[in-house]
Amino acid sequence: MVIRLRMKCLVAILGGVLACSASQDPVELFQRGKYEQAFSIFSDLAAAGDLQACNYLGTHYYLGVGVERDFAEAVRWFRVAALAQDPQGQRNLGVMYLRGLGVKKDYHEAYGWLYFAYEGGNAGAKEYLTLMSDNVTPNAANVARRNVRRQIDDKTPELGTIKKPPDPE
């Protein structure tokens, strides 16, 4: 009887903990449209080095949800994730270069980031690479890949200095 009661208490406690942690899941909050709450949690996670959080901060700034729309700030956060070899961040950074949002339009830079995104497992990057095939020659593609690889190799050690973005006003 005592063991059953303890088990019921443990299940109730664990259930409560899981319910609390689920309501604080920033991805779920983002998907439910609670952008300010998600942004706050993603900010803390990004400051701790979470690459998915960095990418989501970029998405917040790109879409202007929970914060003022700011393409340059979106690029900054996508770049943090991309340099740490996060395929989603690499794809998003490549798209920013492809469209010239927050950065000067640069098909070669876009190609390099999209290439590494695809190589890292981001299937969606392949569509962009195909789209760009008329704009980037095979030789330019090789140069773009080397350029991006150099950026990744040069910048990866500096990722420990990620700073939390300011809270939206």
CATH number at residue 94: 1.25.40.10
- In the predicted model, what is the mean pLDDT of the chain? 84
Residue 16 lies in a domain: no
Q: Long-range contacts made by residues 59-66, C-beta under 8 angstroms, separation at least 24?
A: 59/30, 59/92, 60/35, 62/92, 62/96, 62/101, 65/30, 65/35, 66/35, 66/36, 66/38, 66/39, 66/168
Asked, for residue 15, whether it belongs to a domain, the answer is no
Residue 99 lies in a domain: yes
Residue 97, domain extent: 27-161
- pTM for the full model? 0.80
Instruction: Give how many domains the chain has, as a whole number.
Output: 1
pLDDT in tens, 65-110: 999 999 999 999 999 999 999 999 999 999 999 999 999 999 999 9
For residue 18, name the pLDDT band (cuts at 50, 70, 90): very low
Q: Provide the greatest CA pair distance for the chain.
A: 75
Q: Name which of 12-16, 68-72, 141-145 the model is least confident about.
A: 12-16
Task: Judge whether 19 lies within some domain.
Answer: no
> Which of 6-15, 135-144, 155-164 is predicted least confidently?
6-15
The pLDDT value recorded for residue 167 is 66
- Tell whether 17 is covered by a domain: no
Q: Tell me the per-residue pLDDT of 40-50, one tens digit each, with 9 for 90 and over.
A: 999 999 998 89
